[in-house]
Amino acid sequence: MPDLICVFGGVYSNHLALAATVEAAWRRGARRFYCLGDLGGFGPNPDKVLPLLREHEVTVLQGNYDHSVGHGLADCGCGYTDPRDNHYAQLSYDYTLARTGDEFRAYQRALPEVIVEEWAGKRVRMAHGSPRRVNEFLWESAAPDAFLARLMDAERADVLLVTHTGIPWQRTLPDGRLVVNVGAIGRPANDGTTDVWYALITVGEETAQRVSAELCRLPYDHPRLAAEMRAEGLPPEFVATIETGFWTTCLEILPPKERMRGRY
Amino acid sequence: MMRPVIRSAALRQSLAALAADEAAHLPLTALDTVWIQLTGTLCNIACRHCFITCGPKEDRVRMMTRAEVQNSLDECRALGVKEIYFTGGEPMLHPEFFAVIEDSLAVAPTSFLSNGILIDPAAADRLRALFDAARYSLDCRISLDGMTAEENDPVRGRGTFQDIVRGIGLLARAGLAPVVTVVEHALGMAATAKRSAFLAFLQGLGLDRPRVKFLPLLRIGREVRRTHGYGDDDFVRAGSLDRVAAEALQCGSCRLVTADGVWTCPLLLDEPEARLGATLREALAPIRLRWAACHTCVAEGLQCRT
Ligand code: SF4
Ligand code: SF4
Ligand SMILES: [Fe+2]
In a domain, B5, yes or no: no
CB-nearest partner of A260 from B32, B82, B177: B177
pLDDT in tens, A40-54: 999 999 999 999 999
pLDDT at B1: 37
In a domain, B218, yes or no: yes
Residues of chain B with pLDDT > 90, as a percent, come to 75
> Which DSSP state fits B24?
P
Number of domains in chain B: 1
Q: Residue B253: which of B118, B83, B111 has the closest Cα?
A: B83
**Is A252 an interface residue toward B (CB < 8 Å)?**
yes
pLDDT at A83: 82
* CATH, residue B89: 3.20.20.70
Residues of chain B with pLDDT > 70, as a percent, come to 93
CA–CA separation, A128 and A159 (whole Å): 14
Answer whether residue B4 shows pLDDT above 70: no
Residue partners of A31: CB distance under 8 A and separation at least 6:
A4
Q: H or E segment at A90?
A: helix A83-99
| Domain A3-260 CATH (choose: 2.30.110.10, 3.30.70.141, 3.60.21.10, 3.40.50.300) | 3.60.21.10
pLDDT in tens, A129-181: 999 999 999 999 999 999 999 999 999 999 999 999 999 999 999 999 999 99
| Domain, as residue range, for B153 | 28-300
pLDDT in tens, A84-124: 888 999 999 999 999 999 999 999 999 999 999 999 999 99
Answer whether residue B12 shows pLDDT above 80: no
> Which DSSP state fits B132?
H
pLDDT in tens, A10-65: 999 999 999 999 999 999 999 999 999 999 999 999 999 999 999 999 999 999 99
pLDDT at A207: 60
Answer whether residue B220 shows pLDDT above 80: yes
Q: How far is the CA of B114 from the centre of ligand 1 (A)?
A: 8
In a domain, B2, yes or no: no
- Map out the domains of chain A as residue ranges: 3-260
Answer whether residue B13 shows pLDDT above 60: no
Among residues 128-147 of chain A, which lie with CB inside 8 Å of chain B? 132, 139, 141-144, 146-147
In a domain, B10, yes or no: no
pLDDT in tens, A224-256: 999 999 999 999 999 999 999 999 998 989 999
Answer whether residue A214 shows pLDDT above 70: yes
pLDDT at B2: 41
CA–CA separation, B100 and B104 (whole Å): 6
Q: B238 or B222: whose pLDDT is higher? A: B222
Q: A130 or A210: whose pLDDT is higher? A: A130
Judging contacts by C-beta atoms under 8 Å, the chain B residues touching residue A84 are 196, 199
> What ipTM is given for this predicted complex?
0.95
In a domain, B11, yes or no: no
How far off is chain A from B199, nearest CA to CA, in Å?
9
Q: Kindly state the average pLDDT of the residues B194-216.
A: 93
Q: How far is the CA of B164 from the centre of ligand 1 (A)?
A: 12
Strand partners, A75: none
Between the CA atoms of B54, B25, A143 and A89, what dihedral angle is there, to the nearest 10 degrees?
A: -90
pLDDT at B19: 57
What rounded mean pLDDT belongs to chain B?
A: 92
